Amino acid sequence: MNAWLGGFESILNRMTINNFNWFLHTLLFLHSQKIMESLKEKERRRELGLESDEEEDEDEEAGIEIDREG
């Protein structure tokens, strides 16, 4: 997450505190929406049998957890 935010460092350094807070909040919101949608798509693919166990192992190694019970 820090590496991803590092790409916005030059922009963030020049902002007022209120703009910084709003921008950071918006970036994190959009990023979390993107991640949640990606996880939902992987779950749909798994339910349809389109995702292999190897892809699941790669996700676990990357630190991505999917709630398989709910």
Q: Which long-range contacts link 31-34 to residues 24+ away (Cβ below 8 Å)?
A: 31/1, 31/4
Q: What is the pLDDT of residue 47?
A: 87
Q: Give the mean pLDDT of the chain.
A: 79
Q: What is the pLDDT of residue 7?
A: 85
Domains of the chain, residue spans:
2-61
pTM (2 decimals)?
0.55
pLDDT in 10s for each residue of the chain, 70 residues: 778 788 888 888 999 999 999 988 998 899 899 999 999 999 999 888 886 655 555 555 555 555 544 4
Contacts of 8 (CB under 8 A, 6+ apart): 23, 27
Of all residues in the chain, the percent with pLDDT exceeding 90 is: 36
